[in-house]
Amino acid sequence: RLRSAPVTIRFVTNTTKECKRDLLERLVKLGFDITENEIFTSLTAARNLLEEKQVRPLLLVDDKALPDFTGIATDNPNAVVVGLAPEHFHYEMMNRAFR
Please compute the mean of the pLDDT values over residues 17-29 and round it to a whole number: 95
Whether pLDDT at 49 is above 90: yes
According to DSSP, the β-strands at 57-60 and 79-82 are parallel
User: Which pLDDT score is estimated for 51?
Assistant: 97
User: Which pLDDT score is estimated for 48?
Assistant: 97
Helices vs. strands in the chain: H and E counts, helices first: 3, 4
Domain boundaries, the chain: 2-98
CATH for 2-98 is 3.40.50
User: Which pLDDT score is estimated for 1?
Assistant: 84
